[in-house]
Amino acid sequence: MDLSKYIRQNILSLAPYSCARDEFKGNARVFVDANENPFQNGYNRYPDPLQLALKEKIAKLKGVRATQIMLGNGSDEPIDLVYRIFCEPGKDNAVAIAPSYGMYGVCADINDVEYKKVVLEEGFKLNADKVLAAVDANTHVIWLCSPNNPSGNLLNRGEMEKIIKGFDGIVVIDEAYADFSAEESWLASLDKYENLIVLQTFSKAWGLAGVRCGMAFASEEIIGYFNKVKYPYNINLLTQEFVFKKLDEVAEKEKQVKIILEQRSRLAAELAKKSRVKKIYPSDANFLLVEVDDANAMYKELAAKEIVTRNRTNVTLCQNCLRITVGTPEENDILLSEIQ
Ligand SMILES: *Cc1c(COP(=O)(O)O)cnc(C)c1O
């Protein structure tokens, strides 16, 4: 693959901002290069722009090289950067499945990039040929999300592979919910497919949505472009230190995931008994897509009882569906007792 064919012209030739700390490597006794306040308080210095200590730890956990990682302000940052790196505004386009995560389309709009939706088949199944048929000479990116939001299901691996192999441009696989599924991550295929970008996040299973830290994994060449385009100090030191420490708590994360998965089964079984619930879609994530008799009415009734669900009734293939996140056992008790 000739990656440069898919890079925006101005990004190919961009000279990135050079940080003070980029120009000097080694130990120093005196730092008077960055106009910082010299009095130590733990945070008076600019943070590592490439977050190497944190990436080394993530790399060990995920079985990749630190140089294959880009960290962002949530996964939303790499999603936006994909357009800024790979798509010429007003010219190039992206192809995505529908329904899927809303930010792919919003960031396309912000970047003035055409966003072409390919509707999933019955049961939210992926049809690779349909996706590939939507590709034209200006398609630079294909978005896949597995397990998919808001449908909750894993996409078929063979169909996904067909797309990665059959498309010469960039394929992004969003694995925000991978921790809730037994399926193998696409991270293991990074070295095999040089057009692949995998997104993961600390916002879901890791319980750190408030911290805003997302991960993009790709070839060293692609990560080089991410590093060139991102804000120099995009991950602040508080976040770098906090996530570094949280990475020691894998066992706690797994314990919580186990409870969430048990609660998901319980919620699905109990919701299925409610007369107003018409269908519960199978989920490989930490939420259920639930078809009810009247989603707008039920959304309002639950909201009046101070229970907030996500009304997806206006989303492709999701008529009369609410998306319900699996809560704590106590939260699920309340939800189940209030749905009549
Ligand atoms: C929640 C979610 C994310 C995570 O976004 P962050 O910016 O990392 O919080 C990414 N992709 C999908 C599909 C999601 O549902």
Which of 154, 200, 204 has the most ligand 1 atoms within 8 A of CB, as the residue to mutate?
204
Q: What distance in angstroms lies between residue 253's CA and the mean position of ligand 1's atoms?
A: 17
- Nearest residue (by CA) to ligand 1, atom 14, is 176
pLDDT at 20: 77
pLDDT at 18: 84
- For the stretch 283-322, pLDDT in tens is 999 999 999 999 999 999 999 999 999 999 999 999 999 9
Decide: 203 in ligand 1 pocket, CB within 6 A. yes
Residue range 168-189: average pLDDT?
98
Decide: 76 in ligand 1 pocket, CB within 6 A. yes
Give the nearest ligand 1 atom to 145 CA.
13
Alpha carbons 224 and 190: distance in angstroms, whole number: 15
pTM: 0.97
Question: Looking at the predicted structure, is the pLDDT value of residue 21 above 90?
Answer: no
Name the nearest CA neighbour of 271 among 280, 263, 262, 261: 280
Residue 240 CB coordination number (10 Å): 19
Share of the chain above pLDDT 90, in %: 95
- Nearest residue (by CA) to ligand 1, atom 15, is 149
Question: Looking at the predicted structure, is the pLDDT value of residue 261 above 90?
Answer: yes
pLDDT at 340: 76
Q: What distance in angstroms lies between residue 12's CA and the mean position of ligand 1's atoms?
A: 28
Question: Looking at the predicted structure, is the pLDDT value of residue 275 above 80?
Answer: yes
- pLDDT-based confidence at residue 234 (cuts at 50, 70, 90): very high
Decide: 187 in ligand 1 pocket, CB within 6 A. no
Q: 145 with 173: CB under 8 angstroms?
A: yes
- pLDDT-based confidence at residue 22 (cuts at 50, 70, 90): confident
Residue 330 CB coordination number (10 Å): 8
Q: What distance in angstroms lies between residue 201's CA and the mean position of ligand 1's atoms?
A: 7
Summary mean pLDDT of the chain: 97
- For the stretch 58-77, pLDDT in tens is 999 999 999 999 999 999 99
pLDDT at 116: 98
DSSP states of 46-103 as a string?
PPPTT-HHHHHHHHHHHTS-GGGEEEESSTHHHHHHHHHHH--TTT-EEEEEES--HH
pLDDT at 222: 98
DSSP states of 145-200 as a string?
ESS-TTT-PPPPHHHHHHHHHH-SSEEEEE-TTGGG--SPPGGGGTTT-TTEEEEE
- pLDDT-based confidence at residue 280 (cuts at 50, 70, 90): very high
pLDDT at 17: 86
Structure tokens, 316: 């492709």
Decide: 174 in ligand 1 pocket, CB within 6 A. yes
Of 13-22, 217-226, 234-243, the poorest mean pLDDT is in 13-22
- For the stretch 85-111, pLDDT in tens is 999 999 999 999 999 999 999 999 999
